[in-house]
Every structure is written in structure tokens, then in C-alpha cells.
Structure 1
Amino acid sequence: MISVQLEDFNLGDEYQQLSDDSETGAIATFVGRVRGSESGSGIDALYLEHYPAMTQKSLEQIVELAKQRWNLLQVRLIHRFGKLEAGAQIVFVGVSSSHRSDAFAACEFIMDYLKTSAPFWKKSISDAGETWVDAKESDQDRASRWD
């Protein structure tokens, strides 16, 4: 299941949904949050924009790639948009599998591809003003290791 939403998510609820299958032997999760600083500068909030149809298709493709590479039972991907204050949850990736190696790898893969391939645009908001956030080369390097 994939959701792009304004509202926050509950980790317990998301974990429970991933736990429903009796074949589940492993669940790997990742939660991304808004940091209060970046490169030594304070951040009050991030503002995330996206184009819904384009974003949904991109996230579906990322999840499908993961399902093709690993034996997965369930995948849950949530990405928030709008204005998110420092400390707020931005993204949830949850993967269930029969075995931990598949769950760990798929969760990391989805997050790496999400950072580099999903069409979200981020603006950093602070006392110093607003700045669009560019993609990091380190994120590209991490995603390229899966090729």
C-alpha cells in the first residue's frame, strides 16, 4: 500500500498492518523525520511539494522494483507533503518478508530510490529565509549501488 498524504501516521498501526501475515518472519521499517539543522544551519520546517499522479506512479515503480528483487510479503510506503515542522515524520517505509535479509535489503533499497527518484520538491524554512533543497550526491551514490 502506498500513501502520499498531508496527515501524520502512527508507527504502531503501520507495524500492525505489516504483521498480519502468518508467513511473516521479518519486518524492517524506516522512519524519516525533519531535522532541525542541515550543514550547521537551523531549520524550522520543510515544505514538500509534488504532482500527485506523477508521484504515485513513481512510488509504485519503486515498490515494484523491490518486489521483483526480493521475496516480500507486504510493503507499506507513506510520504507526507505540505509544511512539516522540525521533528515531524516525513516518510515511512515498512517491508515484511519471511526472512530478514530480504526485509532489510528491500527497505533500504526503497528508501535509497525514494530519495533520488521520487518527484518531491523540498524547501527549507528558517529564520534566514526559504531555500529549495537540492539533491545530494551522496544520495545518488547510495542509489547507484543497487544497479
Structure 2
Amino acid sequence: MSGRIALKYKQNYDAIIKYIAQEFRGKTLDIFGIETAKIVDVFTFEPVEIRIQTGRLDLIFRDVHGSCYHCEEQRNMIEDDLHRCSIYHFQAVRQFGSSMTDILLISGQPYSGPRQIQTKSGLYKPIFIDLTGKDGYKCLSAIKAEIQ
């Protein structure tokens, strides 16, 4: 199945995110409002210890300076997802190093819960990109046009 055919299915977020990841090699994440150097590597990230299939996909973008950006698309996010994301964040840090920034792409229903987790030991505060109020096909077309 070609990528173009896969884009016809609104629920096929994995195919769309994988396509976007391929398009970012050699470019930056500036279109998301996140300043980065050029991306040199993009790969999926599946934590081994906590494998939960909940309609999500993790990608790691690595730029030319070695900084990593852990990007997760989350449909219909709830507060429990934020806690799960924090676990994945620290697993990714263990594997890829502490130069890690989390990016949560929110789709489906809007998320109005907490945007950070504060404990006595530290703060988990990912970057949220809300795609819930946008026309997905129009947004994807704009992203494709911007990165080409």
C-alpha cells in the first residue's frame, strides 16, 4: 500500500506520522514552533518494559548536534497518558541520553488536563502541540508544503 492511499484513512495515524518523520530528515522541527538543528536521524521508539498498545506511536528525532526530540502522537489524551509519557521519557533518556525534549501531538478530543507533573524530585513538562481543532488533511498539506 502506498503512502498516498494510506492517507485516505483518517484513523491511520501511524502511516501519517511515519511519512512525516521521513520528510523531516535533513530539515528542522521549526514548523512545530520548536527550534532545532537539522534532523539527521528519525526512528521509532517502543519501550520494552512497558509495552502498551493504545493507539500511539513514538518517534525520536536526532539533530546534527545530538539533541533528541521524543515525539508521541496521542489520540484522545487523558491525564493517565501524561503520566505514561513521563515514564517513556525517562526510558528514552536512559537509552539516548539526557539531551531529550518530549513533544506530544494531541489529536482526537481536546486535552484540558495538567500540562506538567511536578514532584519533589523534579518536573516533567513536555511540549504540547494541539491538533484537535484543525482540519487534519489541510494541516498535513501545509506541513508537506512547508518542508518541501
TM-score, structure 2 normalization: 0.32
More strand by share: 1
Larger radius of gyration: 1
